[in-house]
Amino acid sequence: MTVMMPQRHRAAAKKPMWIIVLLSMVWVVLIGAYVFPPRRYSKCYLFASSVCTPFKDWLPSMGPRERTDEEIISSVVIRDILSMPMPVSKNPKIALMFLTPGSLPFEKLWEKFLQGHEGRYSIYVHASREKPVHTSSLFSGRDIHSDAVIWGLISMVDAEKRLLANALEDVDNQFFVLLSDSCVPLHSFDYVYNYLMGTNISFVDCFKDPGPHGTGRYSIEMFPEIDERDFRKGAQWFAVTRRHALMILADSLYYKKFKLYCKPAEGRNCIADEHYLPTLFNMVDPGGISNWSVTHVDWSEGKWHPRSYSAADVTYDLLKNITAIDENFHVTSDEKKLVMQKPCLWNGSKRPCYLFARKFNPEALDNLLKLFTSYTSV
């Protein structure tokens, strides 16, 4: 007789609870990242930037977002300004727009530069602190309504727009040059006139700086209208065509973002006049600008402000060396201190980069007047 042994039932294997919890958390994070993606991946809240960038590459694409009414209006207006024909002037002029706190110490030098060229230029003076005392009759009566300007704030951009608006009233003004009280001309008037009028691009300084003084000043509050990858930096001293001058005045969408979220001493120390126009042009017409300024500034000392030239510094050799420069330089503010060097191309040909220079101290006037004819001769 066979004795049947009773069946032994194995107890059900218990799955480790921590694995279930871990898998659940991973799925929650993945679903959340897909449904609610960070506005800028480099600003991820859950991961470090180095982890977040590759992480987003294998997430499903969200597709284009729906633009706001303001974005659509801005896009249409700027598109039409960039494409519409400009009125042809029988007497095209250059608008020299001086942004100064008060009097202009180099009026006599500018008078010498402009002598004999009446009808080919216009002068506009924005004095933000005190009414200028003019030493040249060419500047008398050329002051415009001016408001206070605070370094680093949007009021600097407002002053630039105010100058453009006044200069645009004259339909013959075709090129608009922003100058400071410490600026001096480097060439003869004919050279400057032909240089500007002979091309259809604007001279706006623009480059990408990944360091703390570049994209480090970007605010996530500028998104989605301005993405961090579009944020640019450059010197404020521009020379723009009439078309681009109109475009600057027409813009309110991007201007508003800089007015609200680009301010000095707010963690990022954002300087509005160093970023607004470079970013605007990079976004709406990157092929329409030179990416360098025609105003030379020496930043070689590595300070917050550029080198100033005293009377003793002003020599023939100094001025001829500046006028001979035919490559522009940009240095990033990150730990790499990467130097970006490019030739200055004018209608495809390599040419000297600079038409003007700053910052010259007032006591340098006499030396500049003595040397003007020699250093401006071709």
CA distance linking residue 229 with residue 162, whole number of Å? 29
Alpha carbon distance 236, 164 (integer Å): 14
The answer to whether residues 282 and 226 touch, using CB atoms and an 8 Å cutoff, is no
141 contact partners, CB below 8 Å, separation of at least 6? none
Distance from C-alpha of 226 to C-alpha of 70, rounded to nearest angstrom? 13
Contact 162, 145 (CB under 8 A): yes
Phi first, then psi, for residue 108 (nearest 5°) are: -65, -35
Supply the pTM of this predicted model.
Answer: 0.83
Provide the residue-wise pLDDT of the chain in tens; the chain has 378 residues: 444 455 544 444 455 676 666 667 766 655 555 444 444 443 443 333 333 444 444 445 556 778 888 889 899 999 999 999 988 899 999 999 999 999 999 999 999 999 999 999 999 999 999 999 999 999 999 999 998 899 889 999 999 999 999 999 999 999 999 999 999 999 999 999 999 999 999 999 999 999 999 999 999 999 999 999 999 999 999 999 999 999 999 999 999 999 999 998 766 789 999 999 999 999 999 999 999 999 999 987 777 678 999 999 999 999 999 999 999 999 999 999 999 999 999 999 999 999 999 999 999 999 999 999 999 876
Nearest 5°: CA angle at 373, between 103 and 139?
25
Chain centroid offset of residue 315 CA: 31
183 residue type, one letter: C
Is the preceding omega at residue 224 within 30 degrees of 0, hence cis? yes
Q: Are 285 and 307 in contact (CB under 8 A)?
A: no
CB-based contact 175:242 (threshold 8 Å): yes
pLDDT in tens, 272-324: 999 999 999 999 999 999 999 999 999 877 776 789 999 999 999 999 999 99
